[in-house]
Amino acid sequence: MGLYNRMRAAAGERGWWPADRSAPDRGRDEIIIGAVLTQNTSWKNVERAIESLRAAGLLSLARLAAMEPDQIAPHIRAAGYFNVKARRLHSVARFFAPGGKPRFTQLVRLGDDELRAQLLAVHGVGRETADSILLYALGRLSFVVDAYTLRIGVRHGLFPPGADYEQARAWFTARLPHDAALFNDYHAQLVRIGNLYCKPRPRCAACPLARRDCTASREAWAAIRERLA
């Protein structure tokens, strides 16, 4: 929570995930679609693909489930790897809306772990995508880990350099209050720090997390002191 409080004090609540919230269903479908499209591309490209789907009236899992992947692909070109992502989007859409009929009311009955296991069995859904869908679209308690989380966690000595996705997820889940809103904003804050400061070459001097407990910032400050000596 110490790390979170520093990030939150620096940036305020991040309000992630960006989606049209004018209707609950629309926002949910948009988040799920965005979680699939965001694999291996920038958010700007995802936004362009989402706008293209919106313009065609296809920002809907029920509609995508009723199409074929090659009909979806032209609408998501901006997101890159569009043929691969069209197949993934189609599988995810069919999971949530088989036969074009949404089944969210049925899925509500599944526990977090069971739903996560079922999502991970869907074509093209990896851990980060599954956890993003669970947390941001469905409000489930599922901490999202990404490359920034691993990098920041290792540099701050939270887990060892070889830690993998599940270890990092378990680390945060075991230590944070079980609050989906907190998990939501925590991940968004880590993404901001990773984007702006915790790059392969860290910019610790400007980062809100620069403290004695951070290996990289200690090394950066030591190098600065050495240069000044």
Binding site for ligand SF4 (CB under 6 A): 152, 155-156, 193, 197-198, 202-204, 207, 209-210, 214, 216-217
Structure tokens belonging to residue 60: 């809907």
- In whole angstroms, the minimum distance from the beta carbon of 65 to ligand SF4 comes to 41
- Residue at 82: amino acid letter: F
Do residues 88 and 101 lie in contact, with contact meaning Cβ atoms separated by under 8 Å?
no
Find the shortest distance in angstroms from Cβ 23 to ligand SF4: 37
Closer residue to ligand SF4, CB minimum distance, 34 or 202: 202
Closest to ligand SF4 by CB, 87 vs 203, is: 203
Structure tokens at 63: 């509609």
CA–CA separation, 176 and 153 (whole Å): 14
Q: Smallest distance from the beta carbon of 92 to ligand SF4, in angstroms?
A: 32
Least distance to ligand SF4, CB of residue 31, Å:
27
Q: Is cis: bond before 17, omega within 30 of 0?
A: yes
Q: How far apart are CA 223 and CA 202, in angstroms?
A: 13
Shortest CB 226 distance to ligand SF4, Å: 17
The tokens of 102 are what?
A: 């949404």
> Nearer Cβ to ligand SF4, position 7 or 89?
7
Task: Report whether 32 contacts 206 (CB < 8 A).
Answer: no
Query: Considering beta carbons, is residue 101 or 199 the nearer one to ligand SF4?
Result: 199
